[in-house]
Structure 1
């Protein structure tokens, strides 16, 4: 079989990244020993790079960023939006985790994507930009007793991080978004689809035909997400916009007070004292490929931004966690915080394929080497064509019928969704079925009741942790997914799909009643990789939780957590927008604490 230019580009990008940014360091041994770092940021991911950028706006503040993965520079698959799904497959840019056996998924253990690259998961995710409901953030404010987490307080941070950008094809976007709820001067580009798909008009027509659940919503990032509308993605013209490209752009990373080291894996944070509030301003790090450990010290704070898996993993290895569990592994417990690694919540997902009466879907493109070559060339030369977009043009959020909602609703409020739908012009890029063309309507449980955990496998800090996202563990989450699939059936019966949708395909065709839908879900669902909660916030002074509302770790000094692990509930949204807002808010709080 002929190797196409398209495949060569993907393979080369997945094998090695060129290293062209002179301001980046690739070796732990090259970290300057004569520099006193005010702050050490552990994790150059979605939130961590925001903090590094904002703190180094003050030229008197030295910041060191330690990223376990390689540079994002030259990784073509991370630049081309359409290639995003290839990055969440096993690759050098993934941690390549797997979960424990999941009872809600018929006992299966599944891959658990987490970005292992500068930019973290913002460099490998599927680029979707959604904020969640205003009630999500008002709930955070209520449970933390801190109004700084309310929607009205967080919205300015969403806007500060965002740079609304015209789509690649510069089409008229009037009526496809609400400019009043967006930012235009920030760092991260957010845009609308820049290449039309044949189903676009059918989707919009269906919003007026499929019932109130799928009514048209001009902009779900207004804080009122219910309904279906045009997807917004982190794309700058035709290229992915990540925390690495946005917050560590050349004009930022060349600051003399900012040091970014890739291939630098942190094992632990180190306590420099004992007592009631021990200080954790030390960091133990090595080259990711192995080698001697080096200890570094921050004069002010260590900021953990290693993500919902990495942050609790580091804390537990550092002796911060449940005392009995740590002692059982032979790890000296320094700070008893039983909730470290607990309360993990995530979004369960299943893609639902329907056979389409069309030859103009992703499948046709993916089966033809000449078409993929042409699309790659078009993107490289003109920054136009199908590769300028991710795999979806439309997205929607739906509440269950109120008769099905228990008194203790898992959603944040009456205007918050229980499930999400994503409409795609074919099966997301991956192994293409040998025949057939498809419409895929993906369903996601966005307000789950299930909870999981991150635990240590051993006392070796470089062993992968035990990841249990607890997907579809509760009956209510199973009900949400079941009702979501029934909702999809209603959606594709809208007159707009007449003559186009032939019928359900694959295993979905056998999902005809509640029992068979549940079986289909258990055997086909996975994760949308939106974990939060493993270093959850609680009110300042509370005996539960891991962090205070200002991101500081309870019972210690010199240590903060700045990533989505602090969120006590997963938002009813893809989490990268929240991660950027978290980074922006934390930066302001830190600056205020030190009068920077």
Structure 2
């Protein structure tokens, strides 16, 4: 595989006929004029994980032209992208979106080619089989067999994956795998780090959490049952010095000089989807885009489809800017309603993380990345209190749904009650993990545990807003949307965070892990006393939590009456040729990091779109 240091962009001005492009044939461009006025078969909005994947698969058909438009730049040669050991250093730079929430804390996203897959922690996990099956139950009954369940998505998740099983040295350090859980021929390289930690901290963590909760240790959690503690691989490329295998590196770089029908335009943001006139269903004819607020605006046209893949924050914002959303909200902004679709921007679900750290007296014996996670279920988190917590969940769904409906976070109380019933059933009747405990060597202290509530009941919104400096008081595409995550609005969410925090503290105190530690430093018993009450834990969590930056749900794949935005073909309701392919279509959170699942969704979406080409 080509090393990142040798990457170059291809810029070939051609004048050809037929379906081949007019101004540019392929490669990565940054001038808006390169695509201006051209007609493409497909325009993909957002060059992140899902958008790059879909564009690459559509461009496999040489007779189809594809335009991919990304708001960020092409940073594949930047160490902040390809060097996994620089994880976190892209945060706060031009490579990163930072959407401020009502809490004052930001949800992060990748504003660069490859999106989140270019700046994330590269953790490769999948959720519980039952969670994917449950999401399929929220579709129209006629779409029950449309492949949006575990069996259907598992095939596509493996299609994206180029997995390399652990070698002898990695196995000796704890890594394991089950061959049938992985694909080996896909573009995204997945393996364990070459410098995998070999010190006592990871095996001791596994033993301690098993001793505390009875959770099992499994060889490989990527087969649909992550309720265990396990060593997990990363989306890194062992052929290329463990460099990050982002969607851009995986799907674009290897074919960049070959796909003369695929143009990628970076440093330009799509500001509006253009629709032809007439009653619903409406047809998109193209998009408007520009480099920055006040810059020249350009238009590109779509012969077949516009595919929106801008993520759970920017996708609903673009739909709203284009007249798709709650008509009352859009009317107040001076935007003509094209499709009255109240679910757009509602149903936002984001997770909350607390961090714990301890001093250590151990040799980490490696440089990582860290690669062990525990995924306990409700019984393992709450212990003897679990039954009472389950009863509280079951008896509170109606009141929680009413509260969220009153806050405007969902289309109706009854809709959310039906969705809640699915989520609650997974939590109370199954062994679905409710908490992630990620062991982190070297952060925030010698050893850390990042702990978060995987399946929050709180729901929020993403809404475009008025730009006060504009005379018309209309929405400016470059004004960040208002993100109201409603963190901890449902009391259960804080209850889980408190219980998980206590469990993290106890894990540090449990042998054999405690034998190699010198005591908790974050938050430390001086901040949260050893005998802290739930009220004291709550106060500390409220002040110190961070968003996990796994937002989903704002253009959900479910029935329209439930607040769904796209159908089983990922087509936006009451449009003929607009689809959404990104994390916003997930109607419920899963007990996993998102990337492995999103690759599966994007691969499946590409096949859906290809099937419609005939």
Q: TM-score, normalised by structure 1?
A: 0.85
1:212 and 1:411 map into 2 onto residues whose CA distance is 22
1:179 and 1:280 map into 2 onto residues whose CA distance is 43
The answer to whether residue 334 in structure 2 is matched with residue 330 in structure 1 is yes
In structure 2, the residue matched to 1:111 is 106
In structure 2, the residue matched to 1:100 is 102
Determine if contact 1:135/1:415 at 8 Å carries over to the other structure. no
1:569 to 553, 574, 588: 588
Q: Over residues 219-254 of structure 1, what are the superposed CA-to-partner deviations in whole Å (9 max), with x where a residue is unaligned?
A: 111110011110221111111011000111232453
The answer to whether residue 585 in structure 2 is matched with residue 581 in structure 1 is no
1:66 to 60, 69, 73: 69
Q: Over residues 40-83 of structure 1, what are the superposed CA-to-partner deviations in whole Å (9 max), with x where a residue is unaligned?
A: 00001111111111111111111110011000221111111121
TM-superposed CA distance for 1:497, in Å, is 1.8
Q: How does 1:118-197 map to 2 (within 5 A)?
A: 118-144=113-139, 145=141, 146-147=144-145, 148-165=147-164, 171-172=170-171, 176-197=176-197
Task: Classify the secondary structure of the residue corresponding to 1:49.
Answer: helix
Flag the 1:111–1:257 CA change in 2: closer, same or farther, 3 A.
same
TM-superposed CA distance for 1:290, in Å, is 5.0
Determine if contact 1:18/1:75 at 8 Å carries over to the other structure. no
TM-superposed CA distance for 1:508, in Å, is 4.0
Determine if contact 1:48/1:563 at 8 Å carries over to the other structure. yes
1:203 to 202, 205, 208: 205
The answer to whether residue 533 in structure 2 is matched with residue 513 in structure 1 is yes
Q: Structure 1: which 5+ residue stretches go unaligned?
A: 1-12, 102-108, 363-384, 429-436
Flag the 1:425–1:321 CA change in 2: closer, same or farther, 3 A.
same
Q: Structure 2: which 5+ residue stretches go unaligned?
A: 12-26, 380-385, 395-420, 467-474
Flag the 1:499–1:590 CA change in 2: closer, same or farther, 3 A.
same
TM-superposed CA distance for 1:464, in Å, is 0.8
1:586 and 1:281 map into 2 onto residues whose CA distance is 20
2:324 to 309, 320, 324: 320
The answer to whether residue 55 in structure 2 is matched with residue 52 in structure 1 is yes
1:192 and 1:447 map into 2 onto residues whose CA distance is 27
In structure 1, the residue matched to 2:550 is 530
Task: Classify the secondary structure of the residue corresponding to 1:260.
Answer: strand
1:516 and 1:46 map into 2 onto residues whose CA distance is 40
Q: Over residues 141-198 of structure 1, what are the superposed CA-to-partner deviations in whole Å (9 max), with x where a residue is unaligned?
A: 1111433111011110011000112569963378622222111011111112332432
In structure 2, the residue matched to 1:351 is 355
1:270 and 1:188 map into 2 onto residues whose CA distance is 33
1:306 and 1:585 map into 2 onto residues whose CA distance is 17
1:128 and 1:488 map into 2 onto residues whose CA distance is 20
1:361 and 1:471 map into 2 onto residues whose CA distance is 35
The answer to whether residue 279 in structure 2 is matched with residue 280 in structure 1 is no
Task: Classify the secondary structure of the residue corresponding to 2:195.
Answer: coil
2:350 and 2:578 map into 1 onto residues whose CA distance is 25
2:460 and 2:244 map into 1 onto residues whose CA distance is 31
In structure 2, the residue matched to 1:223 is 224
Flag the 1:241–1:168 CA change in 2: closer, same or farther, 3 A.
farther
1:417 and 1:543 map into 2 onto residues whose CA distance is 25
1:29 to 10, 16, 33: 33
In structure 1, the residue matched to 2:42 is 39
Q: How does 1:146-545 map to 2 (within 5 A)?
A: 146-147=144-145, 148-165=147-164, 171-172=170-171, 176-197=176-197, 198=199, 199-213=201-215, 215-237=216-238, 238-252=242-256, 254-288=258-292, 291-358=295-362, 360=363, 386=367, 389-390=368-369, 392-401=370-379, 402-403=386-387, 404-405=389-390, 406-407=393-394, 408=421, 410=424, 412-413=426-427, 414-427=430-443, 437-458=445-466, 459-509=475-525, 510-511=527-528, 512-539=532-559, 542=561, 544-545=563-564
2:577 to 558, 562, 570: 558
Flag the 1:167–1:205 CA change in 2: closer, same or farther, 3 A.
same
1:281 and 1:246 map into 2 onto residues whose CA distance is 30
TM-superposed CA distance for 1:339, in Å, is 1.0
Q: Over residues 415-464 of structure 1, what are the superposed CA-to-partner deviations in whole Å (9 max), with x where a residue is unaligned?
A: 21111100111215xxxxxxxx5321111110110111101122111111
Tell me the matched-pair count.
535
TM-superposed CA distance for 1:567, in Å, is 0.9
Flag the 1:594–1:500 CA change in 2: closer, same or farther, 3 A.
same
TM-superposed CA distance for 1:577, in Å, is 1.2
Task: Classify the secondary structure of the residue corresponding to 1:594.
Answer: coil
TM-superposed CA distance for 1:481, in Å, is 0.9
In structure 2, the residue matched to 1:106 is none
1:149 and 1:469 map into 2 onto residues whose CA distance is 26
Task: Classify the secondary structure of the residue corresponding to 1:136.
Answer: helix
Q: How does 1:78-97 map to 2 (within 5 A)?
A: 78-87=81-90, 89-97=91-99
Task: Classify the secondary structure of the residue corresponding to 1:47.
Answer: helix
Determine if contact 2:10/2:256 at 8 Å carries over to the other structure. no
Q: TM-score, normalised by structure 2?
A: 0.83
Return 272-281 or 122-131, whichever deviates more: 272-281
TM-superposed CA distance for 1:206, in Å, is 2.8
